[in-house]
Structures are given as structure tokens and as C-alpha cells.
Structure 1
């Protein structure tokens, strides 16, 4: 009897141990499923791209703070036939939306969405352009979403495949203009349209493919330097003349770009910034454009005025007009004239 009791007792302890392990494992699994990321504080816009399955959608929603746990979403998706009918597009969700609400939206037939308009001025860099899109009235996009989408936009073959460290592949490629987009347009499609417009302008101006990147880079300098449209071809001629003669460009706008912040004026210490974009320190053109250039600046860079000018300086601060010179002596005289004019104006104030 005693031996049998010991055997039964041992078996009972074994069963209890197994049950405890199973329950513990289940509890840990449930804990993992129910735990997760923090929810966002406001409605979230996400872009579901072609071919993204329920697993990818779950990861995206968790990352953006729509749901807490991607694993739980994926588990529910395996048991719902709608998960195989997810449509690509841009969607807006409330943080904490239920699985059913999310899947209903992702599989609903597309409807005509309201449009929003964004105006991108000439002379903005990539970051400023993306910010304009975010700030446009009715825009459904966030900056991080646009930045991630930009990396999926194909560039023309004439754009270099490498840029120096800190460079931006898409600089100069987002054409400045006024655009209208549907609110359910994907961020990738929106940005691709801006890139396509740059290509369209190049083709309309008959710029050879092998010259387009140089033309776009020169155009970006012209756009940032010329406040008067009529002067764009003249400033372009100065840039090309200096390049032809091996003279450093010394364009202030490149210094501002190298500095990485908006400043009202360039000071002496800025000229020493160690950067491939600082044309006071490096020969030739910067490795990329420094801004988005409009069609006028691109046309000026493609067909510059025929001059012997090597220098220019502001001659009228109010209008932004420049005085151009062929020699350093003439240029110094123009600089002295402008400084005297400014001194007289300040005394009058």
C-alpha cells in the first residue's frame, strides 16, 4: 500500500507540474500578445503599399501607434478572410481602432476622396518642401511618413547613384509648383509626381540627358541667388564663366546650404565651413543641387546669357537687383558703391 501511494503521489505531482508549466506558458503568451506599443495621441495616417499583406500592415499600424500589438493583429487576421483583400492606399485611423474597424477600412471599395492643394515655392530644399506638404491645409501626411515614402520614389537614370556623406539624393528633384492631390493619394505617388515634373521640364527644354544634373545644379544656385527673374540668365553666365576659367564660384547660397540653417546673411567665419557644398572652399559646382529650381531658373541654366561677367553684387537691396562686372577692379568699385549707399541709408534712419 505504501509503495502504491508513493507512486500515485509522484504521478500527481508530475501532472500538477505539467499543468503549471502549460498555464504559465499560456499566460506568458497572452501577456506578450496583449502588451505592446504606446498608442499615438492623435489620428494617424498610414500608407499601405501594393503587395503589403496583413503581417506588414500589422507591423506598420503598431509602429505608427494605431494598435498596441502587431502579433495580436496578425493572429486575428489569420482567422478573417478579409485579410486577403487589403487594398493599397492612404488611410487615417484613430489610435486604438478595433481590428474590425481597421479591416473594414482596408478592404472597402475606394471612393472619391476630397482634394487638397499644396504650393511649393522655388528655392526650398528637400526638408522644407516636405514640411510644406505636411502644413498644407487638408494634407493627411506627416513628415516621417513622407521621408520614408521618398526613399521609394524612383529617380531618373541621369541622377548620380552616390552623393557625399550628408548629401540628399532627391535635392533639386522635387519640382516647385502648385499641385492638387486627392487625400487618399499615397505619399509615394505624390512625391513621384514632383520628381516626374522635373523630368518633364527638362524634356520640354530639350536639355540632353547627360547635361541635366549639371543644369539642375546650376539652376538651383541661380534660383537662390537671383531675386529678379530677368537676371537669372546673367547670373547663370557668371557661374559658367567662372567654371570655365577655373575660378571658385564663391556663391553665398552654397554656404547657407552647407551651414544647414536659414540665416539672413553670411559672415566671415561661415566661409570656412568644411563642406563639399561650400564653394568658397571647393572648386567647381557643389555635388548636388541646393534647392528646387523653377522652370525659369532651369531655362537660364540651360541657355545662359552670353557675357564676359565674372562677378556680381547686390546694387539695390529693396529690389534685389545686382551690379555685374568683368574685372575684379570693376567689382570692387560696385561693392564700394553699394556699401556707401547702405551707409547713407543707415544715417538717414
Structure 2
């Protein structure tokens, strides 16, 4: 029992010594670490402390098992007090006894515990491991020396001293090691270097971004310049094309050649569209562009083009060509001598002269046919809306005066003079067919409209003047005043001159509108469609007088006779 008690007391004291030594070494390391290390190394030392505590606990458990409870510790302390006295004598008497041999395994266990306590510190730092390896053999030798010559208590104290010295040496080695830059300090320095590199990198990035922005701005400027140049170029090209297109269209509306009067014969097949007719005229070198002709006829609402053979010249306008197409062509090919154009405002005597000149018909035959009542009745039966009022008129020179529409007519050798006149009357009926209802609404008849239109045709040149003059005639008729048109005097005289004298105005004739009031017997010439439209759509005014400047053709209007005479002296008698 005494041996077991001694053994337990030695083990308890040995444990306490080891614990104290390790605790003192740990405290020394804490003090040194707080004074010499930085905040980062301090944090890492705490981690090392926790690791040392864990290693100490693990080594303690391996050596002695689980920690004793408080009751076991109290029993050990009581047992130590009881065995404190006789322990020395027993130790002295048993220097060479078998008990020493029984304690040999205990010593080996102590040595192994020392190894296990020291070895975990080797893993923490390499230098400390090397130093501990050099110290441990000396500790073993000293333990063996003391185990042979001292008792168990002294050997435990010596061992604790040796362990303390080992701990001091390891602490000194740690101090030497910490005097050098620790791994944590180096890590901190590396972090600082990384922060500096990040700052430099960010600076480089900012510089690169600025460079990229500058390059982008340059590229944007270049792109803007390119877009600006392209836009200007497109606008210039568009302007050039627009001007060119305008000039081309404007040229297409004009005659192809004003000086070329040579007739060109073309055939318009039945059912041809305006576009096809334009292509035919373009191919025949009559017009400049068939597409422009197509658009022009649609814009002017020129329709009812007739099939047949036509003769056109390059000096003809699109309006003239359109009107001839509306009148109709010949069923057979034509030659140059069989084409005649009746100008606007020509009377029957002038038309007879022109037909005789252009055809094989004689003027006398033409005048005779105009006085043929039987032929007139045949035409009135065919065109009652047009000729009924003319048949009822009295004191007329020619019943067909005003009804031979001014246009170009194709005359074939196989056709008679009646065919030509019929063609002229038929053209007039086609023009007037759109005005019959309007004439009735105004309370007029066809004979009155054609009579005023024949006066307006020669009294005015422009459309605006013709509409104003037509209203002056209506104002005079409403006031019971004579129309006093020089055109009526010239027709009554059967002459064509520029100046009408006072003697001329005294001629005894139903056509003398200086003496006779109203419209007169009938038309004085064959008016154009524009003159007819001016009579039906006059411009409202209060004038009852007008006079035209002989040199310029401009018309001046007056409301009183005094104003009119002043205008006559100023614009008519100035050269006399």
C-alpha cells in the first residue's frame, strides 16, 4: 500500500509540476507576444494559445486519461499529506531495491509524456522543433542519472526543473524567432503590398478608362462628322435630283421643238390608255416623255381620247394634242395635205378661206353649205340640244356661225365637205354637253351663251380679263345699255381692222350692238371653250365700261362714262 501511495503521490506532484511549467511558459509567451507583435500577429497568437491549450489537453488525456473530478483531487491531496513523512526513509532504504525496477516503466511513461508535450510545438514552428530535438536527449539522460541516485520526489522535482529549463529554452528560441519578422507580419506586409498594387491598378484602370473615353469621344466626333457629311451629301443630291426632275418635267410640258412644224402621222389603236398613247407619241418624236403626258392628262382631266390616225407636229403643246385626241382621228391613214387646223375666234368666212387653202374644197362650196337650210335641219335633228336655239334665231347671217369648233381636223380624200362640217359640229356638241344644265340654271339659252362667248373671245386675251368682260356685258344688259362692242361692228362690216370709227358704229345692221341692245342675232365667230366657260362663270364686278391698250393688250375698267373717256384718251388716242 505504501508503494502504491508513493506512486500516486509522485504522479500527482509530477502532473502539477508539468501543469505549472506549461502555464508559466504560456504566460511568458503571452507577455512577449503582446509587446512585440502587431495587431494581426496578436490575433494569430490567440489562435496559437487556443491550439496550445488544445494540445495540452489532448496530451494530458493521453497520459492520464480524462481529468479527475473534484472528489478524486481531494482524495489525492489527502493521500499526499499522509504519505509525506515516511516517504523519505522509504526512498533512502529502497535505492537498490526492486521498487526502483518497478518504477522504471513510470519513468519511461514520463519521458514519453514529455515528448508528447513538446512535439506539438514542433509542428507550430520549424525552428522550435529543431531546438527541442536537441534538448530532449539531454533531458532523458538527466532523468536516468537522477533516477539512480535520488528518491522519487527529488527525481520529480529535478524533472520539473528540467522541463522548466526546456520551456525557457524554447521561449528564448521563440523570442529569437520573433525578433525576426514573423509569418504574420510578412502576411500583413503582403496585404499592404496588395493594397498598394490594387491602388496602382485602380489608377491604371482609371487612366485606361480615361484613354478609352478619349478614344470614344474621338470616334464619336469622327462618326458625327461622317454623318454630317453624308447628310449634307444626301441633301445636295436630293436637291440636285429635285431641280433636275423639276426641269425635266417642265421641259416635258413644253413642245418638243417650237420650230419644227413637220407633221408626223401616228395611229392610236382602239382601247388605248393615256399611258399607251403617250408612249406612241414619244416613239413618234411628237412629245418628250410619255409618262409626263400621262400625268398631265390625268391632272387636266383630259379623257375620251378617240382611236384613229392623227397628224401631229413637234411644235404642238400637250393641250393641243389632247384636244385633237378628243375630237377623234381618221379611220384611214392621212397625208400632209389632208390636215387643217381651225384657230380660235375664226368666223365662217375665215374658215372657208382656210379649208380651201388646205384642201381640195372650194371656198364658195363651203359658204354655200353654210347657207343650206336643209343641211342645217339634218344637223339640228342629230344635235338638238346644241342647234335648237340657233334654228329659232332671226336675222342671222349663218346659222352654224359659232358652232364650228376651233380645232385640228383630218380630211381624207374619200370624205365630203359635209363630213368635214359635221365633224366640226360634233366636236362643239362634245364640248357643250357639260354646260347644258348650267345654261338652263342661269336662265339663258345656247345661242345667247355662244354669242357673248364670241365677243369675249376677241375682247379679252387672258382668262381673268375674259371673266371680267363677261360680267361687264351682263351689267350693261341688266341696265338696258347697248353692249357697244367693236367686234359686232367689224362683223357687220364684214371687215377685219384694228380701229373702228364713229361712222362705222352707225352701220345699219342687226349685228351693230352700238345701236341695238341685247345679245344680237347670234355669234360673231367660233369661240373657244375658255371663252364659253368665262361667260358661264364670270367675275363679279360693278363695271360698265372697259377699254384695252392697243400696244400692250391690257384691259382697264370704269364705272362711269367720264372715267372711261379718260382711259380712252390715255391708252387709245395717245398715239394718234
Instruction: Normalising by structure 2, report the TM-score.
Output: 0.38
Aligned residue number for residue 73 of structure 1: none
Q: 2:395 touches 2:521 (CA, 8 Å); kept in 1?
A: no
Specify the alignment match of 1:273 in structure 2.
507
Mapped partners of 1:134, 1:236: distance in 2: 34
Aligned length in residues: 230
In structure 1, C-alpha distance between the alignment counterparts of 2:554 and 2:423, rounded to whole Å: 34
Aligned runs of 1:114-129 on 2, under 5 Å? Answer: 114-115=334-335, 116-129=338-351
User: What's 1:144 paired with?
Assistant: 364
* 1:305 maps onto 2:525 in alignment: no
484, 491, 496: which one aligns with 1:262: 496
Q: Is the 8 A contact 2:404 2:428 kept in 1?
A: yes
1:202 is matched with: 432
Measured in 1, the distance between the counterparts of 2:480 and 2:395 equals: 25
Structure with larger Rg:
2
Superposition map of 1:228-247 within 5 A:
228-247=462-481
Report deviation, 1:148. 4.1
Cα 1:342–1:142, aligned 2, differ >3 Å: closer, same or farther?
same
From the superposition, tell whether residues 323 and 270 of structure 1 become closer, same or farther in structure 2 (CA, over 3 Å).
Answer: same
CA distance in 2, matches of 1:124, 1:165: 20
The alignment partner of 1:161 has SS state of helix
Residue 184 of structure 1 corresponds to which residue in structure 2?
414
Equivalent position of 1:18 in the other structure: none
Q: 1:133 aligns with which of 345, 355, 374?
A: 355
CA displacement at 1:120 relative to structure 2:
0.9
Q: Which ranges in structure 1 are unaligned for 5 or more consecutive residues?
A: 1-110, 344-349
The more displaced of 275-284 and 205-214 is 205-214
Q: Is the 8 Å Cα contact of residues 396 and 521 (structure 2) preserved in structure 1? A: no
Cα distance, 1:257 vs structure 2? 0.7
Give the drift of 1:146.
2.6
Counterpart position of 2:449: 215
**What pairs up with 1:55-204 in 2 under 5 angstroms?**
112=332, 114-115=334-335, 116-136=338-358, 139-150=359-370, 151=372, 152-153=375-376, 154-155=379-380, 156-157=383-384, 158-165=388-395, 167-204=397-434
In the aligned structure 1, how far is the partner of 2:540 from the partner of 2:491? Answer: 28
**Cα distance in 2 for residues equivalent to 1:148 and 1:339:** 39
1:166 positional shift: 6.2
Q: CA deviation at 1:205?
A: 3.5
d(CA) in 2 for partners of 1:279, 1:261:
16
Aligned to 1:328: 561
Who is 1:50 aligned against? none
The CA deviation at 1:114 is 2.9
Q: CA deviation at 1:269?
A: 0.6
SS in 1 for 2:472: helix
Quick check: which one's helix share is greater? Answer: 2
Kindly indicate whether the alpha-carbon contact (under 8 Å) linking 1:228 and 1:321 is maintained by their aligned counterparts in 2.
no
Residues 267-291 of structure 1: per-residue CA shift (max 9 Å, x gap): 1111110111101111111111000
Q: Distance in 2 between matches of 1:260 and 1:164?
A: 19
Q: Which runs of 5+ in 2 are unaligned?
A: 1-330
Q: Which has the higher contact order (CA 8 A, sep 6+)?
A: 1
Q: Which moved more, 1:333-342 or 1:293-302?
A: 333-342
Residue 337 of structure 1 corresponds to 570
Offset, 1:211: 2.2
Structure 1 residue 309: Cα displacement: 1.1
Higher strand share: 1
Distance, in Å, in 1 between the alignment partners of 2:525 and 2:402 is 5
2:552 alignment partner in structure 1: 319
User: What displacement does 1:165 show?
Assistant: 4.5
8 Å CA contact retained: 1:227, 1:319? no
What TM-score, normalized by structure 1, do the two folds share?
Answer: 0.61
SS of the residue corresponding to residue 433 of structure 2 reads helix
Q: Secondary structure at the match of 1:323?
A: strand
| Deviation, structure 1 residue 121 | 1.0
**Structure 1 residue 204 displacement after superposition:** 2.6
